[in-house]
Structure 1
Amino acid sequence: MTASPTRRTTLGALALLATTALTGCYMSSKRNIRTLDKTFSYLKDPALRTKEKGDARLVVEGAELSGERFEGMDWHNILFKNCDFVGAYEINPKTATNVRYEDCRFSGILSYGVTTNVHFLRCAWVGNSVMFAEKGSKSTVFEECNFVGTTANRNHQGAVGSDGEAEFVRCRSKWFAWTGNERLSITDCTCEDVTILTDSIGNSGEDFLYAATRIEGSKLRGTFKLVAANLQSLTIRDTVIDMLDLTSATIKEELLMERVRGGSVEAIVKGAKRLVVRDSQFTPPASGGKFIFSLASNDAQEVLIENTSILGDNILVDIGGGPHTESLVFRKSKFPRLDLQYAHAKHLLLENFEANSVRLNDARIGKLELSSAVFALTLDLSNTQVHEFKKTGGTDLKKLGGLKLDGSNINLPQ
């Protein structure tokens, strides 16, 4: 079975738990598929179905698919309604084309095959179920589905998605892992402690896939984990987050966040050429729990923070690029404390910007530009070297008691 649990480091434990959960714990009042005569024959033998029924849609309703192997066949133009799929490796069609599942339930270790235009509507996955569409799958959509795990431990959670493309729309998920190795779209979903799995060299070799990932209009409660994920790009829009964890993630192109309301962001990533946060606000939790905001890529060529505020007392915001950063721009934004020490950039602009304190010591900047920038307490420029310094409006640095210029070549205008 190509959807083997050995494809991912987490799936071995998932498969074991899923298999254990199936032994005597799953009960269904539906008729077993073997009792449905012709329907059963048509699922097992698509050639027979085509011979007798042509291309007419096959409707399978109120059945339990368990205890029988469906492996290696091509499923096409099928509607499963109110069916239960239960098993450990038995359900594994080669391909699935124009297949629709409505109000179905899934439990176990199953495969959708290589999918084209496969739609799950109001379906449910429970416990530690593991089920994937295979590599090369297109247009795999989960709409208004529920994914309910049994533990917050990510090594013992279920996992659903696609080794190709996957789209989740108006779904609810708790203690579950989702994947879309080639493309992953999450729209109007509510997630609680959800993990995103991606491809890796260990899974697929040197030519493994990087997921183009888009999250819009969603609520990401608890911790939303993309730890060590491999992404082509990551876009998050119009979304509420509690904790976004991108620790050690690799993003080949852009990380973009727009109109985000949330708490912590831990995003010291690799590879990203562009980091953008616009029209967003981040605040510590009302409970007084841990709050962190870190955003940086050593490969970033452009960093843009615009119309964004991070509120709270004595919160240190860590944002940065790398040794080859072209522009580092903060515009119409407000932070408590900003850490830019050791920054390297051809152009660093703070425009209509407010902060209690900015740490910009030991930086190497081509052009440092302060335009209507306000510093309430401190600005540390010690040991910072610039080729050009320009300041208009904002705080009078000569009157700023917390200004540090020791070792810097910056000369304040008279």
Structure 2
Amino acid sequence: MAGCKLQSVVIQDTNIDFLDMRDAEIAGNVLVERVRGGYLNASAKSMGKLTMSQCQIFGKRRNFSFEIGMDSADEVLLDQCNFGSDLNLAVGLGAGRPLSPEEWSKAPNNRYSLIRNCVLPTVDASWLESRHLRLESNTIESLDISNSRIEKLEVVNNRVNLGVNLENTRVKESTIQPLAKGQAKLDGSNIRLN
């Protein structure tokens, strides 16, 4: 599906080894439910809302099991998905590379992203743009939200086994759950922990 122009995408009750929607233009929404499989790249050039629920994605491509540039979607919901706990695998949510000053949006396209009740290995949300990002009730091995621009950031009721990297991240408002001493990296960030 890479580079395609589509109205919408619905994938349900399916086993998939490899799915690539990179650079697709999707006018409407994408729904992925009860899918088991390998690598999934949902980094479309543009889409309405991406909803993924009750999926098990354990594949590997360039050390990722799942990738999406969240700034390409109006909204993102990842609910009750299992991406495993292998620290050699990452779930990529941000740009995946440093952004130059002129690449940052004045108003991010991504209005709201919610990740809840998921099992995640290394979460790479670095260089992310969003108006509102909420991570709620997940089990996460390692969380990287560094170098991001997020208007409202909420990290609540998660079990984070290793570190939380918030270095150089700028927010207007944040709610960050209590973290173990030394677990959070905050250098260059305007985030303050309670």
Scaled by the length of structure 2, what TM-score is found? Answer: 0.84
Give the corresponding residue for 2:56: 281
Give the corresponding residue for 2:102: none
> What whole-Å deviation, never above 9, does each CA across 1:365-387 have from its counterpart, x for those lacking one?
22211221121111110111112
Conserved in 1, the CA contact under 8 Å of 2:85 and 2:119? no
| Counterparts of 2:30 and 2:147, CA distance in 1 | 27
- Residue 402 of structure 1, CA deviation: 3.8
Conserved in 2, the CA contact under 8 Å of 1:284 and 1:291? yes
Conserved in 1, the CA contact under 8 Å of 2:112 and 2:131? yes
Conserved in 1, the CA contact under 8 Å of 2:13 and 2:35? yes
- Residue 266 of structure 1, CA deviation: 2.0
**Is 1:361 equivalent to 2:146 in the alignment?**
yes
Give the corresponding residue for 1:235: 10
1:43-54 → structure 2 map (5 Å cutoff):
none
Give the corresponding residue for 2:179: 397
| Counterparts of 1:391 and 1:298, CA distance in 2 | 22
Q: 1:313 is matched with which residue: 75, 78, 86?
A: 86
Q: What is the SS of the residue equivalent to 1:317?
A: strand
- Residue 406 of structure 1, CA deviation: 0.2
**Is 1:375 equivalent to 2:150 in the alignment?**
no
> What whole-Å deviation, never above 9, does each CA across 1:336-380 have from its counterpart, x for those lacking one?
011111222222111101211111011122221122112111111
Q: What is the SS of the residue equivalent to 1:367?
A: strand
| Counterparts of 2:187 and 2:134, CA distance in 1 | 21
Q: What is the SS of the residue equivalent to 2:69?
A: strand
> What whole-Å deviation, never above 9, does each CA across 1:282-331 have from its counterpart, x for those lacking one?
1137xx99763212354322111111110152211112488221111111
Give the corresponding residue for 2:76: 303
Conserved in 2, the CA contact under 8 Å of 1:270 and 1:298? no
Q: What is the SS of the residue equivalent to 2:147?
A: coil
Conserved in 2, the CA contact under 8 Å of 1:228 and 1:249? yes
Larger Rg: 1
Conserved in 1, the CA contact under 8 Å of 2:57 and 2:65? no
Give the corresponding residue for 1:388: 173
Figure out how many residues of one structure are paired with residues of the other and give that number.
182
Q: 1:337 is matched with which residue: 122, 126, 130?
A: 122
- Residue 254 of structure 1, CA deviation: 1.1
Over the matched positions of the two proteins, sequence identity in percent amounts to 35
**Is 1:349 equivalent to 2:130 in the alignment?**
no
Q: What is the SS of the residue equivalent to 2:175?
A: strand
- The structure-2 alpha-carbon separation of the partners of 1:406 and 1:342, relative to structure 1 and needing over 3 Å to count, comes to same
Q: What is the SS of the residue equivalent to 1:284?
A: coil
| Counterparts of 1:348 and 1:227, CA distance in 2 | 26
Q: Which amino acid aligns with 1:313?
A: D
Q: Which amino acid aligns with 1:303?
A: V
Give the corresponding residue for 1:40: none
Q: What is the SS of the residue equivalent to 1:411?
A: coil
| Counterparts of 2:64 and 2:187, CA distance in 1 | 32
- The structure-2 alpha-carbon separation of the partners of 1:408 and 1:290, relative to structure 1 and needing over 3 Å to count, comes to closer
Conserved in 1, the CA contact under 8 Å of 2:93 and 2:128? no
Q: Which amino acid aligns with 2:91?
A: V
| Counterparts of 1:309 and 1:409, CA distance in 2 | 31
Q: What is the SS of the residue equivalent to 2:127?
A: coil
- The structure-2 alpha-carbon separation of the partners of 1:251 and 1:403, relative to structure 1 and needing over 3 Å to count, comes to same
| Counterparts of 1:294 and 1:348, CA distance in 2 | 16
Q: What is the SS of the residue equivalent to 2:50?
A: strand
| Counterparts of 1:313 and 1:305, CA distance in 2 | 19
Conserved in 2, the CA contact under 8 Å of 1:271 and 1:297? no
| Counterparts of 1:358 and 1:282, CA distance in 2 | 18
Structure 2 runs not aligned, ≥5 long:
96-104
Give the corresponding residue for 2:66: 293
Q: Cα RMSD (Å) of the superposition?
A: 2.3
Conserved in 1, the CA contact under 8 Å of 2:67 and 2:92? yes
Scaled by the length of structure 1, what TM-score is found? Answer: 0.41
- The structure-2 alpha-carbon separation of the partners of 1:408 and 1:278, relative to structure 1 and needing over 3 Å to count, comes to same
